[in-house]
A and B are shown apart, each in its own frame.
Chain A
């Protein structure tokens, strides 16, 4: 079969600007985009630059953007890529990854962005005390919680797709934060709180993630970096009560408490309470909160002037008719004393591939093996143990 590819070319040493090159390759639809590029290099023009090694989605070298989506060239089939594009003529568009400077053609500077950010999170274990004579021994189940973040192959697809980094190049970013969780969740590490505090206080840390799911969508290994960032937030605010200066703690506390009280969101309380660790009273007196409220004043005025917000609605919010039921649910869950998480990466999703029939759930793993408990700081090595 013949496939048309449109490849972004750029050679900084040539002094010429970037351009598109149309190439045509004869290959089967099951072959990869990387196969097509390597064939073109071998047969036609060896000057086209691409980084690759294993060609089996293990080494993470061949990250590119195909039809706008960041992914590995080696595990993207030509047939699939050709059909999914909205160009309608089947052309496959191949560009270098985003958010990183281009060195040549499809090769980006991973050192300048990706690896620098990985270094930022201190990506090695910091144990305490005398090292044991042999290896550190941990219960196998305590590592389950971090297997997902350990699956990362450092391809940089998530960095390329990150929409926060697109507007804030200083954002620590999805790959590095997923890596940070790998150590935060590791029972052998002794700097859990310090790591969390560092990443919560950094204005470009865990609270700079805009929750857009782009990293989850593109990751070829289902690491779900955004989910790891949410785990870091949960640990920082829930387990360690870290009241960061970015309002991360305050925003979460304010939101959760407002729904506990009213059942639905009372937006005009969310802003001030977010600025003051979740407290409405403190928001009216603390200087840093008042400063931020003042910054938001033009928006408040615009809201009132447009009629979106009425003064009455800003102050008064109706509780749900059955709000006591919502409160009861909060109480039941919170009085459990441990958090239950069902991580589908670990337990699998029964819906996948089944026919949604009545017996579809029959072979699904039972919750006993499935749910993990993320516990508080005191629990130490109990982290990640299964609920029984």
Chain B
């Protein structure tokens, strides 16, 4: 399957292991990635906060570039998904508004055509379940992650608001990460924080709120017996992994649970080695997860 691939800013910035692991795992999923390397930042909710016309134009530009490839668009960031879906909803809702936004793209020779259900922009998680399929995914597993206890962390932007994120058509989208974990042979950890906020959006504005959120979810996942978290959102990863030592101060306890990116967990089950997946590029060491996976191979 060929997709117009939007990696987002953070996967090429502070979480290079996400970009790398996606590239490594794509062939194993029979995914051909046409990277949109001329597309711009989705605005992550901040440009939307500043000026709606601006953010709608910027994302229409990305969509138009993706549509030029003639295939569906895929992203690997919950925040990109949410921010872009918000713009797409407005662009699709009103032909005159869309035409006005498109007039900004004209000088570049670009046009966004109403997507509807014909042309979609899906996070890797959605694509896995809806286009590749859980059965097909299971067949590709060469190293079932038996015994690995994985706590799913979805990221707000991919679960709310359901009205604009396609939940009418796909009501199970807030359950896919659990399903993927199980399909890879691992065990899903049920804990309070899976669909809550990591706190990242306010790390510079309300540090205590932000790190208390991150710390609390991490602690819940640990208490529920998780070996690691997995998330389809690199911003969640930053607050949960990069900031984890700081979060400890706000929840006044030790933490120390690794936070994997979705392509990393996929890669482990599809036979890639931790080194190929950038698992050494984490603040919270992934050694224990690696050891468990190595034991699976030995067994």
Contacts and interface: CB of A to CB of B under 8 A. Distances in A.
Interface of A: 84, 86, 163-164, 166-168, 171, 203-204, 207-214, 216-217, 230, 233-234, 237-238, 246-248, 250-252, 255-256, 259, 263-268, 270-271, 274-275, 295, 298-299, 302-303, 305-309, 313, 320-322, 325-326, 328-330, 332-334, 336, 339-342, 344, 347-351, 356, 360-361, 364-368, 370-371
A361 B114 contact: yes
B197 interface: yes
Contacts, number: 232
B209 A217 contact: no
Interface string B27-47: 000000000011111011111
Interface centre among B50, B207, B212 (most CB of A within 10 A): B50
Contacts of A167: 199, 208-209, 212-213, 216
Given A342-B93, A356-B117, A263 B41 contact: yes
Contact of A265 (B17, B44, B53, B92): B44
Contact of A271 (B117, B204, B212): B204
A268 B161 CA distance: 30
Contact of B107 (A216, A275, A328): A328
Nearest to B208: A168
A1 to B, nearest CB: 22
Given A252-B49, A347-B94, A364-B94, A308 B54 contact: no
B203 to A, nearest CB: 8
Contacts of A255: 44, 46-47, 50
A274 B13 CA distance: 18
Given A265-B44, A367-B97, A333 B205 contact: no
B50 A265 contact: no
Consensus secondary structure, chain B interface: helix
Given A168-B208, A271-B204, A329-B61, A307 B40 contact: no
Interface string B237-263: 000001101100000000000000000
Given A209-B202, A252-B49, A360-B116, A342 B242 contact: no
A164 B197 CA distance: 8
A308 B242 contact: yes
B9 A265 contact: yes
B97 A342 contact: yes
A174 to B, nearest CB: 13
Interface of B: 9-10, 12-17, 37-41, 43-54, 56-58, 61, 82, 89-90, 92-97, 100, 104-105, 107-108, 114, 116-118, 156-157, 160-162, 171, 175, 196-197, 199, 201-202, 204-210, 212-213, 216, 242-243, 245-246, 280-283
A307 B278 CA distance: 10
Main secondary structure of the interface of A (DSSP, over half): helix
B212 A344 contact: no
A364 B212 CA distance: 44
Given A274-B204, A361-B114, A213 B157 contact: yes
Contacts of B16: 308
Given A208-B202, A230-B49, A238-B50, A342 B90 contact: yes
Contact of A349 (B93, B207, B245): B93
Nearest to B107: A328
A203 B206 contact: yes
A370 B94 contact: yes
Nearest to B175: A86
Given A230-B49, A351-B92, A267 B13 contact: yes
A212 B233 CA distance: 13
Nearest to A371: B97
Given A302-B283, A329-B104, A339-B53, A267 B209 contact: no
Contact of B93 (A208, A214, A347): A347
Given A275-B204, A329-B104, A212 B196 contact: yes
A360 B54 CA distance: 26
B93 A308 contact: no
Given A264-B12, A303-B14, A344-B89, A251 B108 contact: no
18 contacts: A208-B205, A210-B209, A212-B160, A230-B48, A263-B41, A267-B9, A275-B204, A299-B242, A302-B245, A306-B242, A306-B282, A307-B280, A329-B58, A334-B51, A336-B53, A342-B52, A342-B56, A351-B89
Nearest to A370: B94
Nearest to A325: B108
Given A213-B161, A264-B9, A344-B89, A356 B40 contact: no
The 9 closest A-B pairs by CB, nearest first: A367-B96, A213-B160, A356-B116, A212-B197, A265-B9, A167-B212, A207-B205, A211-B201, A255-B46
Contact of B51 (A203, A210, A305, A339): A339
Q: Which of A321, A330, A333 has the most CB of B within 10 A?
A: A333
Nearest to A317: B13
Nearest to B202: A210
A332 B106 CA distance: 12
Contacts of A246: 205-206
A209 B162 CA distance: 19
Contacts of B204: 247, 250-251, 270-271, 274-275
Nearest to A83: B171
Contacts of A371: 97
Contacts of A211: 45, 156, 197, 201-202
A320 B40 contact: yes
B41 A265 contact: yes
B47 A259 contact: yes
A332 B57 CA distance: 10
B206 A208 contact: yes
A366 B38 contact: no
A267 B205 contact: no
A214 B92 CA distance: 24
A230 B86 CA distance: 14
Contact of A252 (B46, B90, B156, B281): B46
Q: Which residue, of B10, B13, B56, B116, has the highest number of chain A Cβ atoms within 10 A?
A: B13
